[in-house]
Amino acid sequence: MRISFGELRIGNTARKYVQAALDKSWISEGANVAKFESQFAARFGYGHAIATSSGTDADICSCASLYEFGAKRGDEIILPAACFVACANSILAAGFTPKFVDIDLETLNIDPNKIEEAVTGKTRAIMAVHTMGKPCEMDSILQIARAHNLMVIEDSCEAHGATYKGKVIGSMGDMGTFSFYPAHVVVAGEGGMVVTAREEIDHVVRSVKSHGRPFGSIYFDFQRIGFNSRMNELTAAVGLEGLECFDETFNTRKKNFYQLLKLTERLSEYLYFLKEESYEKVSPHAFPLVLKDKKYDGPRLYKYLESKGIQCKTLFGSLPTQHKAFKFMNYECGQFPVSEYVGENGLHFGMHQYMTDDDLHYISDTLKAYFK
Ligand SMILES: Cc1ncc(COP(=O)(O)O)c(C=O)c1O
């Protein structure tokens, strides 16, 4: 593939911290992880940051912490029908039921106008997923959450450094979650983070990520359902470098994003592109596009781009109705029309910091050739 989703290049900072762990013969959670947590919190202004072994585990631990705040097994968590599968899987893994809501065609995020009708007596939280780095409509989401006494988990795995009305992503809900898998803006190879302003949540998440032991204990006293979701020292070493490079990575990706938007401007006759509003800062996670008319054939465009060496992925599609994994929930095709349309007629490809001018021109020329 000529254009990949992202790359990991290991530099001196990561090597230094890896070496420090090796010198101590200690690669389980330790000093590197503590440093990564405190630097991550400080860099973005979060009160507490709790490292986990993946973004999925960050979501699972956030969901499982809800038991501490009145939730019962089988209660519901609202999430967008189209988003990365880890969101729905983690709700299930934590013992809850995912309650899917359709998305908005242009923002690709949960449609705030459809959330309230999904709230039932069993709803305990909304998982607001900032898909493709675009902040969700947080004003509406927070208002609905307040009205129905729901907690809010901001899945910010694709949105490092994004802001909404001056507030950093992940800081508006009760918790925010991040992933450091290579396609993301801060990369650690694997790994995740939960952030929160509330100390009590910090303590519960730390307990959940370590088998439900009491906060700070390593002994066999299990106070709540938990997992082993801890980060290791080698991952944190790479993450520390990812964090050090954050500004440069973010700005280069953003420059690439705008350059490609400009190069492909005249294709807006055929395609919806991601828009950045004046009140928000979109995190440059990737480059999504959605066909304005299905006659241009989403699956054909996907195959065509891949055949030209541009690695593509769909825009997830409707998890409940377009993926076999969720068939057991008995949703029916047609229940999430926008997610289903985007699932068939949308895709995204990488917009990472190592792309060259040539790459951007190549993508633009390739797209233009398709619509000719
Ligand atoms: C929105 C979202 N949530 C959760 C995850 C899971 O993160 P990880 O792959 O680190 O488990 C991802 C991963 O890409 C994601 O995009």
Ligand 1 atom having least distance to the Cα of 131: 1
> Quick check: CB of 86 below 6 Å from ligand 1?
yes
Give me ligand 1 centre to Cα 57, in Å: 9
Give me ligand 1 centre to Cα 23, in Å: 32
Calpha distance 355→4 (Å, rounded) = 9
Residue 146 burial (C-beta neighbours within 10 Å; 0-12, 13-18, 19+): exposed
- The domains found in the chain, sorted by start residue, are 12-99+110-244 (3.40.640.10), 246-371 (3.90.1150.10)
> Quick check: CB of 128 below 6 Å from ligand 1?
no
Mutate to test the pocket of ligand 1, among 156, 179, 193, 209 (most ligand atoms within 8 A of CB): 179
> Quick check: CB of 54 below 6 Å from ligand 1?
yes
- Tens place of pLDDT per residue across the chain (372 aa): 789 998 899 999 999 999 999 999 999 999 999 999 999 999 999 999 999 999 999 999 999 999 999 999 999 999 999 999 999 999 999 999 999 999 999 999 999 999 999 999 999 999 999 999 999 999 999 999 999 999 999 999 999 999 999 999 999 999 999 999 999 999 999 999 999 999 999 999 999 999 999 999 999 999 999 999 999 999 999 999 999 999 999 999 999 999 999 999 999 999 999 999 999 999 999 999 999 999 999 999 999 999 999 999 999 999 999 999 999 999 999 999 999 999 999 999 999 999 999 999 999 999 999 999
Predicted model pTM: 0.98
> Quick check: CB of 53 below 6 Å from ligand 1?
no
Give me ligand 1 centre to Cα 180, in Å: 8
Measuring CA to CA, how many Å separate 39 from each of 45, 47, 54, 187, 236? 10, 11, 18, 14, 11
The count of C-alpha atoms lying within 13 angstroms of the C-alpha of 271, restricted to the half-sphere facing its C-beta, is 24
Calpha distance 214→60 (Å, rounded) = 18
Ligand 1 atom having least distance to the Cα of 184: 14
> Quick check: CB of 298 below 6 Å from ligand 1?
no
Calpha distance 218→229 (Å, rounded) = 14
Mutate to test the pocket of ligand 1, among 53, 54, 56, 175 (most ligand atoms within 8 A of CB): 56
Write down the pLDDT at residue 7.
87
Write down the pLDDT at residue 1.
77
Under 8 Å between Cβ of 314 and 302: yes
Write down the pLDDT at residue 37.
98
Q: Whose CA is nearest to atom 7 of ligand 1?
A: 55
Give me ligand 1 centre to Cα 194, in Å: 12
Give me ligand 1 centre to Cα 300, in Å: 27
Q: Whose CA is nearest to atom 8 of ligand 1?
A: 55
